[in-house]
Structure 1
Amino acid sequence: MKTAIILLAAGLSSRLGRPKQLVEFQGKKLIQKAIEEAQKSKSDSLVVVLGWNPELIKSGFDSEKIPFVTNENWEEGMASSMQAGLRFLMEKGHPDQVILMLVDQPFVDADLLNRLILEKDKSGKGIVASSYSETFGVPAIFDRAYFEEMLSLKGSEGAKKVIMKNRAEVFAVDFPLGAVDLDTEGDLERLKNWEI
């Protein structure tokens, strides 16, 4: 099974007021940390989806070596960025399954990504999603059977819509730290207090 990762890093970070992709955590920019964890995982390929100010965000990682795609329609919302990444992967390598991950979940690591891959294989389910804050979310892995559905999402709809619509086909992996994302300066302050 060929597994590809879509790392979404296209947003404006409007609530934070500065690009969260370039915020430092544990001595690394968030985008670099996310890329390194993806590379350490058992996935076969990765694409980074850029949108807002791609030249600036590219300063946070080695864009000569890491495949990326720029979503010109990033302002339309998460759906178009996810679709830009998925189309890129489908054209390049025909993955059997894709993992969707966000740049602003600092506790996502290779172990979690590998767990998603393993549990999908073991459970026989079409989707394995992270479970936190009493709901399902990303990172999540989707079988190619769901690619068309993912490509039909609109605007701010994200992978969660696909997860919720196919609840019977979802296996959940417990990931309480998935609830930690970085949208405001307050979130960043709280993050500094986390001892890992």
Structure 2
Amino acid sequence: MKTAALIAAAGMSTRMAQFKQLMKIGSRTMAERVIVNFQQAGITEIVMVTGYRSDQLEKELRSFGITFLRNPRYETTQMFDSAKIGLEYLKERCDSVCFCPVDIPFFMEQTVEILLDQQGDIIQPVFQGKAGHPILLRASLIPAILAYQGDGGLKGALNSIENLKRIRVPVEDEAVLMDADTREDFKRLVDVHNSRLIHPKIQVTLVNHKGFFDEMTLELLRKIAASGSVREACGQLGISYSKGWNIIQNAEDGMGCRIVERQPGGRGGGTANVTERGKKLLKLFETYEEQLNKISGELFQEIFLSGDLF
């Protein structure tokens, strides 16, 4: 399945009183950060809708190899109108669209990867009960969105479509809620950037005489569950088919049970599904790693950031 990213960047930044698309946080502008976040998550088809100071913005970003579309009526239209321009362009070019305003620059690539692993019509990240961006939309919704003439922007358009499978995915990523409409918002983003420069990351390996389940195993099982194919999952991870099966076999030896069901096929490698026991292992491992990183972050804040070392 091909996913594209759509970035709305046509606005005039009136509340910021500065062209926020090119305001720098650290070494990158806000627009650059949104692009890079999507690229690091593996999305290569990226469309940005520009408007105000479009020539300058497009010149600054031309090295990123993205597609630019323009909203010529940016002064009198809303962000939803820019979204429609991008969706019209993408409707026959992808299976799903990850939509984000340009002023939400710090969502993590892992958040995008989590969204891409879900199966639904509308998939949205949620932090502490509040929904944020980016939003993943199935391309099958685009005609209805384009036809919508009511109020409420994109949210109103989506609410008008019946029988949708909506998925709200809890994420440990506060930045999905953090935009930059005002200078106070921008200062908060700078603080987030500075706090992320040095941070702990715990990587867990389950061991039974030897290591048998780690981050690579986790990602492989996630992608098998989403695609139903070991070969496709290996291709997405950039590993060989034989290495993928070695990882699965090692995990099954360590657990003492089967975690991937195989149905042999021809050259395509047949089909594969994660077993119920494998799904339970996957969930427990994710929960354990998430909790460890949360505790680690709290200890890091208490021990390292409470003093004057950084």
Same fold (TM over 0.5): yes
Conserved? CA contact 1:51–1:72, under 8 Å: yes
- Rg larger in structure: 2
Counterpart of 2:51, as a letter, is G
Equivalence for 2:28: 28
Equivalence for 2:51: 51
Give matches, 1:4-153, under 5 Å.
Answer: 4-62=4-62, 65-74=65-74, 75-90=76-91, 93-120=92-119, 125-132=120-127, 134-153=129-148
Counterpart of 1:128, as a letter, is I
Counterpart of 1:89, as a letter, is L
Identity %: 25
Conserved? CA contact 1:97–1:144, under 8 Å: yes
SS in 2 for 1:193: helix
Gaps of 5+ in 1: none
Count, aligned residues: 190
What TM-score, normalized to structure 2? 0.56
**Cα offset, 1:130, TM superposition:** 1.9
**Cα offset, 1:63, TM superposition:** 6.0
SS in 1 for 2:100: strand
Distance across 1 between alignment mates of 2:178 and 2:54: 25
**Cα offset, 1:8, TM superposition:** 1.0
- Residues 107-148 of structure 1: CA distance to partner in whole angstroms, max 9, x if unpaired? 12322212111123xxxx211012247443431111122111
Cα pair distance change 1:64/1:183, threshold 3 Å:
closer
Equivalence for 1:180: 178
Cα pair distance change 1:38/1:102, threshold 3 Å:
same
Richer in strand (by share) = 1
Conserved? CA contact 1:9–1:48, under 8 Å: yes
What TM-score, normalized to structure 1? 0.85
Cα pair distance change 1:181/1:3, threshold 3 Å:
same
Cα pair distance change 1:184/1:151, threshold 3 Å:
same
Conserved? CA contact 1:29–1:60, under 8 Å: no
Gaps of 5+ in 2: 197-310
Equivalence for 2:187: 189
**Cα offset, 1:96, TM superposition:** 1.0
Cα pair distance change 1:64/1:102, threshold 3 Å:
closer
Distance across 2 between alignment mates of 1:142 and 1:42: 17
